[in-house]
Amino acid sequence: MYLSKVKVKEAMDKQGIKTFKELAENLGITKNQLSVMLADEYNPFKTRVVDLCKVLCVSPNLVMNFEEKHGDDASDIVYEKTAVTAIELFAGAGGIALGLEQAGISTLEYVEFDKACCETLRANRPEWNVICDDIHNVSFKKYKDKVDIVTGGFPCQAFSYAGKKMGFDDTRGTLFHEFARCVKEVRPKMFLAENVRGLASHDNGRTLSVIIGVLEELGYTVQKQILNAAYFGVGQKRERIVIIGVKKGLPITFTYPKAEAKMTTLREALKDCPASIGEQYSEKKRKVLALVPPGGCWVDLPEEIAKEYMGKSYYSGGGRRGMARRISWDEPSLTLTCSPSQKQTERCHPEETRPFTVREYARIQSFPDNWAFSGGITDQYKQIGNAVPVELARRIGVQLKEAILQYRKNNHEKL
C-alpha cells in the first residue's frame, strides 16, 4: 500500500492546486518532504497523510494504491492489475507519453523514427519499450484486442482526391494511414489522435473529413474538439485538435477535460526555472528587439526600423503580431516553434533581449525540469517545439483512463 502520485494529482486538480510545490506550501512542509511522502516506501498511516487528505478534501482510500508492485525485469512493462494500457505512435520527445504516464496509463510500446527523440525517451525512461524504426516496418497484430488505447500525433500530409473514394486504402503513403493501420490491427477500445488546429481547415476541411470517415469505417464513433493549452495549465497559447474514437458497440463515454477560467501565464510557467543553454540573437536582431516592450511586437518599433526589419512582410496583410514579439510575464507565450530565434516567429524573453533557453522552452511546454533532451541544441529545441504539452496530455489522459475504468466498472469486465 502506498500513496499514488496519479490519484494525488487528480485530487489536486479538483482543488485547483496546480503544482506539488503549492501543495507542499499548503501542508506547511518543503517540496522535498512531500517527495518523501509520495515515495513508494513511505508509510501511508503517518499523520502527514491525514493532513494531506484534509488539504485535498478526500478520504485516504482515494489517494492510495492498494496494489503491490511487481516485476524486476526492465524489459517487462510493470503496471497495476487494473491498468489502462496504450500504444503510442509518433512519440517524439515524450509530450503525450509523459502526460499519459502521469495520468496513470501504462503504455506498452512507443514508436518513433527520429533518433534524437528515441535517445531522449530511452535516456529518461530506460524501462520503456521504445521502437526506433520507420512505422511502415512495425506490425501491431500481436496487440489485437489486448490494448485499451492507441495514441499518436500523426504528421498531416495532403491527400490526392482525383478520381478516388478516399477510404482507408486511398490514404496509403501518408502517416495517417499508418495510424489507421495500427487502429485496424489492434482494435483498441479507444484512440486519441491529435494534430495542429490547421487540420480542421486544411483543404477546406476535406482532409479532416477523410480522416474521420476512415476512422468511422474502421468501426469507431469519432468526436473532435480544439483545445487551447493555455486553459489547461500550460503557459502557452497552443491550439490542438484532439480526436477521440470509441469502438462502436462499447458503452464508453469520454468527456474532454474542462477548461480553466483563466489562461496560465508565462510568470507561472517559468517560476524558479533552472538556468540552461540557449540560443542568442544576432547583434542586429538584438538591437531591434531591445526596442520592443513586454507584450509588444513590430508595431512598437519606429516605422523605418520596422520597414527594414520586416522587408516585404511589412506591406503584407494580416496582423503579423508574431513578428519581433516580446512576451509579457502576465500572458501565455505564443505557440513555440522549432527554432526560438526564427524571423517572423520570435518569442523574446520578457526582460532580457534573448530567446527562451532550452529549459524555459521545456517549462512552457510543461515538461518537468528533470526531463533531459538528447542531441545538440538545435535538436533539443526542435524536440520541444514539436511536442504536445505534457500537462494538456495528462489532463486528456485522466479523462481517457476514467472512461475506460468506468466502462469496466459498469460492465463488470474482468480486470
pLDDT tens for 284-299 read: 999 999 999 999 999 9
Closest CA to 99 of 223, 190, 233: 233
Please report the pLDDT score of residue 76 as a whole number: 40
Please report the pLDDT score of residue 160 as a whole number: 61
State mean pLDDT over 37-50.
66
Work out the percent of the chain whose per-residue pLDDT is above 90. Answer: 65
Q: Which three cell numbers stand for residue 183?
A: 487502429
Q: For 55-112, how does the pLDDT look when each residue is reduced to its tens digit (9 = 90+)?
A: 777 666 676 665 544 443 333 433 344 689 999 999 999 999 999 999 999 999 999 9
Q: What pTM did the predictor assign?
A: 0.79
Catalytically annotated residues? 156
Q: How far apart are CA 53 and CA 97, in angstroms?
A: 28
State mean pLDDT over 264-287.
96
Q: Has residue 213 got a pLDDT over 60?
A: yes
Q: Where residue 268 falls among pLDDT bands split at 50, 70, 90?
A: very high
Please report the pLDDT score of residue 43 as a whole number: 62
| Mean pLDDT of the chain, nearest integer | 87
Q: Has residue 158 got a pLDDT over 70?
A: no
- Is residue 35 left, alpha or beta, with left meaning phi > 0 and alpha meaning psi from -120 to 50? alpha
Closest CA to 53 of 69, 37, 68, 41: 37
Q: Has residue 218 got a pLDDT over 70?
A: yes
State mean pLDDT over 3-9.
78
Q: Where residue 327 falls among pLDDT bands split at 50, 70, 90?
A: very high
More confident of the two residues 15 and 2: 15
State mean pLDDT over 168-189.
88
Please report the pLDDT score of residue 9 as a whole number: 81
Please report the pLDDT score of residue 5 as a whole number: 76
Lowest average pLDDT, out of 82-86, 271-275, 372-376, goes to: 82-86
State mean pLDDT over 111-138.
96
Please report the pLDDT score of residue 289 as a whole number: 95
Q: Has residue 211 got a pLDDT over 60?
A: yes
